């Protein structure tokens, strides 16, 4: 670039954009690290900052410094009335009108200004990345291409971040998740569970036709309507919609989260079964609202070739803050071991469904899980 003034302007723009991007990413990283103690998201954000630093090394630092003129920046004197306002975000992901959710917060809404701060800083970083990408094309096309990929990654991390924080809030008080089949006096059992305060009921019934499952599901939706109990359909996103469920739970061989989201839309919960730390991390990246982690112990209701045991529960609890329900053979007798491993949420089937008094078992689980 022969025009010295143009060169000065170019490096001034790039310097400001690089600084702005790093600042935005650091604000979000600090929230992940210090507010929600999420080691996985903190690591992903730190890696993004590191990759940005490595990519822009070819943009000469000395020229950036010589072009920096903060006191002469006309933008520092421009203020908008909303610049210092931070409000909650609406329309992200939430529960349907049939679910209990929170007592007063509308579906999909974050009820404080922290969400606005997070969104503003993700936007700041992404806008900065776009500026770097566009102007670095005048210096090095390879740099521009790498910045483009970093920008795309930032969108994915933002999605994961929002799912983690929002999922945590929507399920903040959810500790007991139960799985049922429509066998015997199942309606009586569900009524007792809901009355006793079970947080989530999942319909898992592979022995029925789609029409039968939808009919059962709609009945469960009626039984949970107006309560704080969330109704989840197992495996099938299409049936979740038809049955008016609050969400769908996916196995590792089912639809991917993104494909399920296209079916159920943005307002329903999506959970994912995970059997390794890598799968748990991927579920976060994919935008799941919660995960199941297991199987912990042999189960009386579902056969598994292997069991991950309590070690995986410890690993997930130490690294991931997305709501995680330990699952697989959990009973009141082995619950203390599960809690000692770091779990604060459990999914239970046989221990409740095979009881003569499911409501009493739910209450006892809830008492032990109180936190």
For residue 267, what pLDDT is reported?
Answer: 86
Residue 42, pLDDT above cutoff 50: yes
Q: Which one has a higher pLDDT value, 112 or 330?
A: 330
Q: What is the mean pLDDT of residues 26-55?
A: 94
Q: Which of 124, 150, 169 is the last residue of a domain?
A: 169
Judge whether residue 92 has pLDDT over 80.
Answer: no
Beta strands (DSSP E) in 259-345 are: 269-274, 290-293, 324-327
In a shared domain, residues 128 and 187: no
Structure confidence at residue 151 (pLDDT)? 97
Domain check: are 212 and 348 in the same one? yes
Query: What CA–CA distance (Å, rounded) separates 200 from 177?
Result: 5
Per-residue CA distances from 77 to 16, 71, 73, 131, 332 (Å): 15, 10, 8, 21, 63
185 has pLDDT over 70: yes
Rounded Cα gap, residues 277 and 283, in angstroms? 10
**Mean pLDDT of the region 341-359:** 96
Q: What pLDDT does 280 receive? A: 97
- Whether residue 187 has pLDDT greater than 90: yes
State yes or no: pLDDT of 328 exceeds 90: yes
Looking at the structure, tell me whether residues 191 and 48 fall in a common domain: no
85 lies in the same domain as 151: yes
Q: Which residues of 182-210 are buried (b: 16+ CB within 10 A; e: fewer)?
A: beeebeebbebbbebbbbbbbbbbeeeee
**pLDDT tens figures, 235-245:** 999 999 999 99
Q: Please check whether residues 142 and 22 belong to one and the same domain.
A: yes
Is 50 exceeded by the pLDDT of residue 99?
A: no
- Return the H-helix or E-strand segment holding 109: none
- According to DSSP, residue 105 is labeled P
Q: For residue range 136-147, list pLDDT tens digits in order.
A: 999 999 999 999
Query: 112 and 196 in one domain?
Result: no
Cα-to-chain-centroid distance, residue 198: 22
Check pLDDT > 60 for residue 173.
yes
Residue 113 has pLDDT above 80, yes or no: no
The CATH code of the domain that includes 344 is 3.20.20.70
**pLDDT band at 93, cuts 50/70/90?**
very low
* Most confident range, picked from 80-94, 300-314, 347-361: 347-361
Q: What is the pLDDT of residue 79?
A: 65
Asked if 135 and 87 sit in the same domain, the reply is yes
Domain edge (last residue) among 153, 169, 185:
169
What confidence score (pLDDT) does residue 307 get? 72
Per-residue model confidence (pLDDT) at position 172: 79
If phi > 0 it is left, if psi is from -120 to 50 it is alpha, else beta; for residue 107 that is beta
Judge whether residue 40 has pLDDT over 70. yes
Residue that wins the pLDDT comparison between 144 and 83: 144
Mean pLDDT, rounded, for 238-259: 96
Q: Of all residues in the chain, what percent carry a pLDDT higher than 90?
A: 72
Q: What is the mean pLDDT of residues 290-294?
A: 96
In terms of residue numbers, what domain contains 307? 174-369
Same-domain pairing of 160 and 184: no
Q: What pairing do the DSSP bridges indicate for beta strands 269-274 and 247-250?
A: parallel
Give me the pLDDT at residue 207, please. 85
CATH classification at residue 67: 1.20.1260
Confidence of residue 164 (pLDDT cuts 50, 70, 90): confident
**How far apart are alpha carbons 213 and 326 in whole angstroms?**
25
Mean pLDDT of 345-365: 96
pLDDT at 102: 32
185 and 162 in a common domain: no
Is it the case that residue 327 has pLDDT exceeding 50? yes
Which range is least confidently modeled, 111-125, 189-203, 245-259? 111-125
- In this predicted structure, the answer to whether residue 34 has a pLDDT above a threshold of 50 is yes
Lowest mean pLDDT across 7-11, 91-95, 345-349: 91-95
Instruction: Tell me what the pLDDT averaged over the chain comes to.
Output: 87
Asked if 140 and 243 sit in the same domain, the reply is no
pLDDT value at residue 5: 64
Total domain count, the chain: 2
Q: Quick one: pLDDT at residue 96?
A: 33
- From the list 44, 45, 52, the residue with the least C-alpha distance to 27 is 45
Looking at 111, 140, 169, which one is the last position of a domain? 169
Q: What tokens appear for 111 in the block?
A: 């009820």
The reply to whether 53 and 70 lie within a common domain is yes
pLDDT at residue 130 greater than cutoff 90: yes
| Catalytically annotated residues | 204, 273, 302
The answer on pLDDT for 347 being more than 60 is yes
Together in a domain, 184 and 326:
yes
């Amino acid at each position: 670039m022969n025009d010295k003034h143009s060169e000065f302007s170019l490096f001034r723009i790039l310097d400001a954009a690089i600084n702005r991007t790093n600042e935005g990413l650091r604000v979000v990283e600090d929230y992940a690290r210090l507010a929600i103690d999420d080691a996985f998201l903190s690591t992903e954000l730190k890696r993004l900052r590191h990759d940005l630093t490595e990519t822009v090394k070819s943009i000469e630092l000395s020229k950036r410094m010589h072009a920096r003129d903060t006191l002469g920046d006309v933008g520092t004197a421009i203020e908008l009335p909303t610049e210092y306002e931070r409000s909650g975000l609406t329309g992200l992901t939430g529960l349907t009108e049939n679910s209990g959710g929170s007592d007063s917060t509308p579906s999909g809404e974050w009820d404080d200004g922290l969400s606005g701060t997070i969104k503003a800083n993700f936007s700041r970083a992404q806008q900065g990345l776009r500026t770097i990408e566009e102007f670095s094309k005048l210096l090095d096309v390879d740099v521009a291409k790498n910045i483009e990929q970093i920008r795309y990654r930032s969108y994915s991390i933002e999605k994961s971040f929002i799912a983690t924080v929002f999922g945590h809030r929507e399920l903040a008080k959810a500790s007991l998740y139960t799985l049922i089949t429509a066998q015997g006096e199942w309606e009586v059992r569900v009524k007792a569970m809901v009355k006793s305060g079970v947080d989530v009921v999942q319909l898992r019934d592979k022995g029925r036709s789609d029409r039968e499952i939808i009919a059962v599901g709609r009945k469960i939706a009626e039984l949970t309507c107006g309560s704080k109990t969330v109704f989840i359909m197992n495996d099938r996103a299409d049936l979740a919609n038809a049955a008016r469920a609050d969400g769908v739970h996916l196995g590792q061989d089912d639809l991917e989260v993104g494909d399920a989201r296209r079916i159920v839309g943005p307002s329903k919960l999506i959970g994912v079964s995970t059997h390794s730390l890598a799968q748990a991390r991927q579920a976060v990246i994919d935008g799941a609202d919660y995960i199941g982690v297991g199987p912990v112990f042999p189960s009386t209701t579902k056969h598994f070739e292997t069991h991950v045991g309590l070690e995986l529960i410890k690993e997930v609890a130490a690294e991931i803050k997305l709501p995680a329900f330990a699952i697989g053979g959990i009973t009141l007798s082995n619950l203390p071991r599960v809690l000692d491993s770091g779990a604060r949420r459990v999914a239970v089937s046989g221990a409740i469904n095979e009881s003569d008094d499911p409501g009493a078992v739910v209450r006892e689980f809830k008492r032990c899980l109180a936190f």
